């Protein structure tokens, strides 16, 4: 990527496949001021990385090419607070995530939450945030994140305060997350006066469950998602049964995978078809593919087959390095 690319061109590339930038003016000013701004994304090390995670990882890769320094927070203490496993289970997952991130080829500094979250100044910031936050605001911010929100524990109310403090103590300019993180990020921006620290928020779309609309992709629900340790046969079986209505774009997870994961890695996509069905199709960008699909000139089964082929190319080297 050209080093002298101006801020407006960088912003245009940053906005690709994002739901929103909070705010565009702030990031333009940041790009003009800093050559290597810092972006972070936090992940709970809970089970293998899945396609839902690929969306933010893909954006981190793109930001790295634009000159951003990337920090990945493996949020082990957050996972514990959010009832995602025991200390020993989470430690094991941390090691798996480290290997997965390396196998994906993402240039990033990996930081463990427990390496800094017990420090006195960090905990004082948590206490200041707690004194200035209502329980209802804390609950609202966790609606899309918490496990069993209807029976939320006090630890899960502590979670968003820590996530806000993380941004300050990692000294980042930009926080990246899926749209489920929006309420926490907005909570954090509202608390900037308390923490004396502000940041820019970038939000990616969420991939719909492969079972259909109504929920985001989750590997914890059978048939809903695909993880980096799924075999080629498992991926094929999951995609074969995936929701993919002919000619329909809205809430279509197969098209979302194409747009958010495959096209950013492969600038030219080939969809193989027998000659009797029109022969192979080639696409240089996602919009071309979407148009043909809407016109029903591409059958869902052919789209699924191509998605399977490209996902296998992406996942195979990660799978080999996972164990």
Domain holding 280: CATH number? 1.10.240.10
Here the CATH number for the domain that contains residue 32 is 3.40.50.620
Of 20, 19, 22, 53, which Cα lies nearest the Cα of 173?
22
Reported pTM: 0.93
Q: Are residues 163 and 296 in the same domain?
A: no
Are 168 and 268 within one domain?
no
User: Is 185 domain-assigned?
Assistant: yes
CA angle 69/172/118 to nearest 5° reads 120
| Backbone angles phi and psi of 99, in degrees to 5 | -65, -40
Confidence at residue 2, expressed as pLDDT on a 0 to 100 scale: 44
Query: Could you tell me if residue 213 is inside a domain?
Result: no
pLDDT at 1: 43
Residues 275 and 149 in one domain: no
Domain final residue pick, 204, 222, 249: 204
Structural domain contains residue 109? yes
pLDDT tens over the chain, length 323 residues: 445 788 999 999 999 999 999 999 999 999 999 999 999 999 999 888 899 999 999 999 999 999 999 999 999 999 998 888 999 999 999 999 998 998 888 999 999 999 999 999 999 999 999 999 999 998 888 877 766 667 778 888 888 999 999 999 999 999 999 999 999 999 999 999 999 999 999 999 999 999 999 887 776 777 788 998 899 999 999 999 999 999 999 999 999 999 999 999 998 999 999 999 899 999 999 999 999 999 999 999 999 999 999 999 999 988 877 65
Number of residues that make up the chain: 323
> Alpha-carbon distance 212 to 214, whole Å?
7
Q: Are residues 26 and 167 in the same domain?
A: yes
Q: How many domains are there within the chain?
A: 2
Task: Looking at the structure, tell me whether residues 162 and 245 fall in a common domain.
Answer: no
What is the spatial order of strands in the sheet that 109-112 belongs to? 20-22, 200-204, 174-178, 38-43, 69-74, 109-112
220 in any annotated domain: no
What is residue 3's predicted lDDT score, i.e. its pLDDT?
52
Within-domain flag for 212: no
Full residue range of the structural domain in which residue 195 is found = 7-204
In a domain, 27, yes or no: yes
Query: By the 8 A CB rule, do 104 and 92 touch?
Result: no
6 burial (CB, 10 Å; 0-12 / 13-18 / 19+) is exposed
In a domain, 318, yes or no: yes
CB 84 within 8 A of CB 44: yes
Tell me, yes or no, whether 158 and 245 share the same domain. no
Q: What is the pLDDT of residue 322?
A: 63
Q: Looking at residue 219, what is its pLDDT?
A: 66
């Amino acid at each position: 990527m050209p080093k002298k690319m101006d801020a407006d061109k960088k912003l245009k590339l940053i906005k690709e496949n994002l739901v929103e930038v909070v705010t565009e003016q702030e990031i333009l000013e940041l790009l003009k001021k800093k050559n290597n701004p810092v972006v972070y994304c936090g992940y709970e090390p809970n089970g293998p990385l899945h396609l839902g995670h690929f969306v933010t990882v893909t954006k981190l890769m793109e930001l790295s090419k634009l000159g951003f320094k990337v920090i990945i927070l493996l949020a082990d203490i957050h996972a514990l607070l959010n009832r995602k496993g025991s200390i020993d289970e989470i430690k094991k997952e941390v090691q798996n995530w480290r290997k997965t991130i390396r196998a994906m080829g993402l240039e990033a500094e990996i930081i463990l939450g427990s390496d800094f979250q017990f420090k006195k100044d960090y905990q004082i910031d948590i206490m200041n945030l707690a004194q200035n936050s209502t329980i209802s605001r804390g609950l609202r911010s966790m609606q899309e994140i918490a496990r069993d929100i209807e029976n939320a524990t006090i630890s899960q109310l502590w979670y968003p305060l820590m996530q806000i403090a993380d941004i300050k103590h990692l000294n980042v300019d930009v926080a990246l997350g899926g749209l489920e993180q929006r309420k926490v990020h907005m909570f954090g921006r509202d608390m900037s006066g308390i923490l004396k620290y502000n940041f820019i928020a970038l939000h990616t779309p969420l991939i719909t469950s492969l079972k259909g609309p109504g929920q985001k992709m989750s590997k914890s629900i059978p048939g809903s998602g695909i993880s980096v340790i799924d075999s080629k046969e498992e991926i094929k079986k999951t995609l074969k049964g995936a929701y993919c209505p002919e000619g329909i774009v809205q809430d279509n997870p197969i098209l979302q995978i194409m747009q958010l994961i495959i096209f950013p890695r492969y600038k030219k996509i080939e969809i193989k078809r027998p000659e009797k069905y029109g022969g192979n199709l080639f696409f240089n960008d996602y919009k071309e593919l979407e148009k043909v699909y809407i016109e029903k000139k591409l059958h869902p089964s052919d789209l699924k087959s191509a998605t399977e082929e490209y996902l296998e190319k992406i996942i195979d080297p990660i799978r080999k390095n996972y164990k």
